[in-house]
Structure 1
Amino acid sequence: MGQITVEKNVGGIEGLCVITPAVHGDSRGYFMETYNQKDMEEAGLHMDFVQDNQSSSTKGVLRGLHFQKQFPQGKLVRAIRGSVFDVAVDLRKDSETYGKWYGIELTEENKKQFYIPEGFAHGYLVLSDHAEFCYKCTDFYHPGDDGGLAWNDPEIGIEWPQLTGTYPGNGACAGYTLTDGTPLNLNERDQNWPVLKDAFQF
């Protein structure tokens, strides 16, 4: 297992992993393996990826918090340009950390990857002027299977970096800005997801 190091159960949440690849650099640039099945399996991570996705976003864009209802996806995520604050929220009803979140800054410089297994909500906030975000998925996208949670649910209490504003009582982003004045930017759908206690009633 020479090409990656894996920090398991980050934030005390079982299954969440931060993966740091070995980067081989010189005056010309660098090379790294962004995924190696053998190294993953030697680290105890057994995932079968079936789909790769990539998105581009400007500063202040917040995407999430998203999950899949009937066809949950595990995701291996990274930023290949810029910087994002990436968040996972445990939605596994039998988990001791149900409702708990963990966040990590992923950047093109640190090259860290974040593995989020099935059963989590996921989202990220763009901190740089522009970011390109890539992720591998363990299941295909199924139209109509989308679910979501309010990004600013006080019960979850995510501490989004560089974000200032007053909680308006729902997922709306009006009045929120980054510390440099950049407005928070969510699409209409992400402003209207329910809070955790309304989304799941066990």
Structure 2
Amino acid sequence: MLNFMPFTFKRLSIPDVILVEPQSFSDDRGFFFESFKESDFFSNGIDKKFVQDNFSHSVHGVIRGLHFQKAPKAQAKLVTVLKGKIFDVAVDIRKNSPTYGKWVSEILSGDTHNLLYVPEGFAHGFCVISDEADVLYKVSNEYSQEHERSIIWNDPKLDIQWPIKKPIISNKDNKLSLLENLDNDFVYRDTS
């Protein structure tokens, strides 16, 4: 009997951010894949318990983010796209981190079913690069307005290379803080 591995886990250039690629099985009926399996995720460094699922539908050019929650309601996120395609971004906001203020991105697509794990201590955002996109993400803490914080999407020090010319931004997201002015209590701890 073959040893079935339903996922591939790939650490990105900021190694705490992990791209998860599920193995999909297709036939004339359609396709099937496991989108989450706690034991496999735990054994590959994603050891958070997810307690809430969030869903968003957005049209081409929408940027959502860069959002996070402060402790004690900090959130790790597991992001996937059900339909469409997004440019997904995680920004390291942990003070004293060797990658503080750096970002990584991945294209997430409803065709590939890939997922991005964004740990606590990172701001998260995405922009829609298809006509529309349905995004589903799991979070490790319930939403708390009191702990919600955000960074403006076009912070010049971050210099995120969003792949769209005319972004659609909410009024709320257009009035956010720069990273350097952020009320932020995340501190990097080397666990190696």
Please confirm whether the aligned pair reaches a TM-score higher than 0.5, indicating the same fold: yes
Confirm or deny that 1:57 pairs with 2:40. Answer: no
After superposition, residues 35-74 of structure 1 pair within 5 angstroms as: 35-70=36-71, 71-74=73-76
- Count of paired positions: 181
TM-score (norm 1): 0.85
3, 6, 10: which one aligns with 1:3: 6
* Aligned pairs (5 A) from 1:1-202: 2-8=5-11, 10-11=12-13, 13-70=14-71, 71-161=73-163, 163-164=164-165, 177=166, 184-199=167-182
1:18 & 1:73 partners in 2: Cα distance?
17
Instruction: Report the AA paired with residue 187 of structure 1.
Output: S
Query: How many angstroms apart in 2 are the aligned matches of 1:49 and 1:198?
Result: 30
Counterpart of 2:174, as a letter, is: Q
Structure 1 residue 143: Cα displacement = 2.0
Q: Which runs of 5+ in 2 are unaligned?
A: 186-192
Identity %: 39
Q: How much has 1:42 moved relative to structure 2?
A: 2.5
AA matched with 2:65:
G
| CA deviation after TM superposition for structure 1 residue 131, in Å | 0.6
Contact persistence 2:70–2:184 (CA under 8 A): no
CA distance in 2, matches of 1:63, 1:20: 23
Query: In the aligned structure 1, how far is the partner of 2:106 from the partner of 2:143?
Result: 24
Q: Which amino acid aligns with 2:171?
A: E
Which whole-Å deviations, capped at 9, do the CAs of 1:137-196 have from their partners, x for residues lacking one?
1111112221111111110110111x23xxxxxxxxxxxx1xxxxxx2111110011111
Q: Deviations over 1:95-120 (max 9, x none)?
A: 11000000111111111100000011
User: Where does residue 173 of structure 1 map in the other structure?
Assistant: none
Aligned to 2:188: none
AA aligned to 1:2 is M
How many angstroms does 1:73 deviate by? 0.1
Which secondary structure does the structure 1 equivalent of 2:25 belong to? strand
Q: CA deviation at 1:26?
A: 1.0
Report the CA distance shift for 1:22/1:143 in structure 2 as closer, same or farther (over 3 A).
same
| CA RMSD after TM alignment | 1.5
> Which residue number corresponds to residue 168 of structure 1?
none
SS at match of 2:89: strand
* Aligned amino acid, residue 59 of structure 2: T
Ranges in structure 1 where 5+ consecutive residues have no aligned partner: 165-176, 178-183
Return the offset for 1:128: 1.1
